[in-house]
């Protein structure tokens, strides 16, 4: 009888814990850039009410315009046979997004705060420390960082148990993956709430501990860096140098051949140099520099002279018109 009672109590305890999971309905997204706007869009499109926050009304107007353009593309494909329903989908989604320049004034009634601002630990810490004073007790905080340690950000708050990583991928409306990062202090309730939220967005969540780069970037960034090293060994120049020969006699292989080899040999949709230019050379440099500072002896984290040179020359890829390749 005692055994049955214990089993019953465990069952009741488990059910109660599960019932206490936060069902996210109201979301505050901090940062109106590409990632923040994308997160706001998918949240609003799946029935959540969203407040999108950034520093100025001009930034927010640009974000809202980008979201509308993206939604119209989605609607055109999703409602190809019913344009009227597509238009209603766009309007309904947009009506679920409001904007604000004052984060502290809007977090008091939100279930989840997702931060997608500049990859700077000090700036993130200052933001979360401030929001922690105004957010409701139940509110979960999450960072979309791709390279910083979640624990270091969470330590700026008093809610380490309600803090986790929620790493989306660009472009957010199209990419299905979300990495849910659980720190040693993140509660199971918080973790499960974020997994459920990710699924509600139509995403496929995967879980990872708070390790550098999580899963994707931990594998991807060293691969990209090794491609650069393969190209730059004994190289005197880097970037878009056209010899007219179609191949290079310096380095171990040309960037063009490396890209072609990985697309045709490994089945990748983009070669490493094409991907580097798409992601942004400055972004990759920021990540690898941060990892190098934490583990200077790790050969995977060694900086690249070629990458440093291009970033110093403001050649960060597609967004600046030139990186490893030139773009018109």
Helix intervals (H) in the chain = 2-19, 34-45, 57-78, 83-95, 121-132, 150-154, 188-200, 216-232, 255-265, 272-279, 281-294, 305-312
In the structure, what pLDDT confidence band is assigned to residue 223 with cuts at 50, 70 and 90? very high
Share of the chain above pLDDT 90, in %: 85
**47 among the known binding-site residues?**
no
Mean pLDDT on 213-229: 96
Active site residues: 146, 167, 179, 217
User: Does residue 8 carry a pLDDT above 80?
Assistant: no
CA atoms 262, 264, 265, 269: torsion sign? positive
At 208 the three-state DSSP class reads: strand
CA atoms 301, 303, 306, 312: torsion sign? positive
In the structure, what pLDDT confidence band is assigned to residue 233 with cuts at 50, 70 and 90? confident
Q: Which residues contact 267 (CB under 8 A, 6 or more apart)?
A: none
User: Does residue 13 carry a pLDDT above 80?
Assistant: no
**77 among the known binding-site residues?**
yes
For residue 117, the tally of other CB atoms under 10 A from its CB is: 20
**Range from 5-19, 214-228, 298-312, 314-328 carrying the lowest mean pLDDT:** 5-19
Q: What are residue 216's phi and psi, to 5 degrees? A: -65, -55
User: Does residue 313 carry a pLDDT above 60?
Assistant: yes
User: Does residue 100 carry a pLDDT above 60?
Assistant: yes
User: Does residue 1 carry a pLDDT above 60?
Assistant: no
Average pLDDT of the chain is: 91
User: Does residue 14 carry a pLDDT above 70?
Assistant: no
**33 among the known binding-site residues?**
yes
Across the beta sheet with 26-30, what order do the strands follow?
97-100, 49-53, 26-30, 112-115, 140-143, 163-168, 177-182, 204-209
Peptide bond into 171 cis (omega under 30): yes
The alpha carbon torsion through 42, 45, 48, 50 (nearest 10 deg) reads 70
**34 among the known binding-site residues?**
yes
Share of the chain above pLDDT 70, in %: 89
pLDDT at 20: 80
Domains of the chain: residue spans and CATH: 26-209 (3.40.50.720), 218-320 (1.10.1040.10)
**319 among the known binding-site residues?**
yes
**282 among the known binding-site residues?**
no
Strand partners, 317: 322
Distance between CA atoms of residues 315 and 318, nearest Å? 9
Q: Tell me how far apart the terminal alpha carbons of the chain are, to the nearest angstrom.
A: 78
Distance between CA atoms of residues 261 and 286, nearest Å? 27
**36 among the known binding-site residues?**
yes
Q: Characterise 221 by phi-psi region: left (phi > 0), alpha (psi -120 to 50), beta (else).
A: alpha
pLDDT at 3: 46
């Amino acid at each position: 009888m005692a055994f049955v009672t214990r089993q019953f109590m465990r069952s009741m305890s488990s059910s109660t814990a599960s019932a206490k999971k936060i069902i996210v309905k109201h979301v505050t997204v901090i940062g109106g850039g590409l990632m923040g706007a994308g997160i706001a869009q998918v949240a609003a499109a799946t029935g959540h009410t969203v407040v999108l926050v950034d520093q100025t009304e001009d930034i927010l107007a640009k974000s809202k315009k980008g979201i509308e353009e993206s939604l119209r593309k989605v609607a055109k494909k999703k409602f190809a046979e019913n344009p009227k329903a597509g238009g209603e989908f766009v309007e309904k989604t947009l009506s679920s997004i409001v904007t604000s320049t004052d984060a502290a004034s809007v977090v008091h009634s939100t279930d989840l705060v997702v931060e997608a601002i500049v990859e700077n630990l000090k700036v993130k810490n200052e933001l979360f420390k401030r929001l922690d004073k105004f957010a409701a007790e139940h509110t979960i905080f999450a960072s979309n960082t791709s390279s910083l340690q979640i624990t270091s950000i969470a330590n700026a708050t008093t809610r380490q148990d309600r803090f986790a990583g929620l790493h989306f991928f660009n472009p957010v409306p199209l990419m299905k993956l979300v990495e849910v990062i659980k720190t040693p202090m993140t509660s199971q309730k918080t973790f499960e709430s974020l997994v459920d939220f990710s699924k509600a967005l139509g995403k496929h969540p995967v879980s990872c501990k708070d390790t550098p780069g999580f899963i994707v970037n931990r594998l991807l960034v060293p691969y990209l860096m090794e491609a650069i090293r393969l190209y730059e060994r004994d190289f005197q120049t880097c970037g878009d140098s056209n010899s007219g020969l179609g191949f290079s006699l310096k380095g171990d292989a040309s960037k063009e051949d490396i890209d072609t080899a990985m697309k045709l040999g490994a089945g990748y949709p983009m070669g490493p140099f094409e991907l580097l230019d798409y992601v942004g050379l400055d972004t990759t440099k920021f990540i690898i520099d941060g990892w190098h500072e934490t583990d200077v002896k790790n050969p995977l984290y060694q900086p690249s002279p070629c990458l440093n040179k291009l970033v110093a020359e403001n050649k960060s890829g597609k967004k600046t018109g030139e990186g490893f390749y030139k773009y018109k």
